Structure 1
């Protein structure tokens, strides 16, 4: 029997599917420049992930400006345009309720770089015993 609270388990297939639909619609809106805000027109924004709440009424959109510059300004511009973006999404994605949009900075690239740096550190390399080869010969 499925846990209704969702604690201890990952997102449902429906959450993942709706999140992907919203991500595609949001990416399309931002890439086409369908909003008249000049702050959004100046920067290209990627949308790597959208996470939906269990009731599908809140979409947390993880975004990153290309080049990694002007993150705070991009988040502020997206938050200021959340209602028009929501309206555009409602026209493109057929859902019972159009989710409220919340924008967060995507830090997965920095986290990946941090983990990569840790794995390449001399202490880890020594423990793994791969100091003399890159591992490309395997």
Structure 2
């Protein structure tokens, strides 16, 4: 897999910042009670598709919230387009993915805690 170009990285940064602000202001409509963080954005070389990774805090139903956001992807894309219209010729198609890094970290912490509680065997 090749690395992203500077152009892709800059464009992904713009999308990440604008989507972050959009979710901060209007995220309650798509995921009530959840705090949504845009953790990463990857853009295809032609800038036509943006893969957006979201993390949810203060919610027990992250998968349901993600499904609700995916069902409103066109509305979110439209609102993003209104924000970046002066910076981009086209508004990329948005694909949303659940970033479960926090869950993975918590799982690993639990495993390490269990390992540290086990009695040590003499060497």
Which has the higher relative contact order, 1 or 2, with Cα contacts under 8 A spaced 6 or more apart? 2
Q: 1:92/1:12 Cα in 2 relative to 1: closer, same or farther (>3 Å)? A: same
**Aligned residue pairs, count:** 114
Q: 1:95/1:109 Cα in 2 relative to 1: closer, same or farther (>3 Å)? A: same
Larger Cα-atom Rg: 1
In structure 2, the residue matched to 1:125 is none
Unaligned runs of 5+ in 2: 117-123
- Deviation string 1:29-56 (CA, Å, 9 cap, x unpaired) is 11111x7x74434322111111111111
Q: 1:117/1:38 Cα in 2 relative to 1: closer, same or farther (>3 Å)? A: closer
Question: Per-residue deviation at 1:68?
Answer: 5.4
Q: Where do residues 6-85 of structure 1 align in structure 2 (5 Å cutoff)?
A: 8-33=1-26, 38-67=29-58, 69-85=60-76
Unaligned runs of 5+ in 1: 1-7, 123-138
- Deviation string 1:59-102 (CA, Å, 9 cap, x unpaired) is 11100111352111111111111111111111111211100111
In structure 2, the residue matched to 1:127 is none
Q: Provide the aligned C-alpha RMSD in A.
A: 2.5
Q: Where do residues 76-115 of structure 1 align in structure 2 (5 Å cutoff)?
A: 76-93=67-84, 94-112=87-105
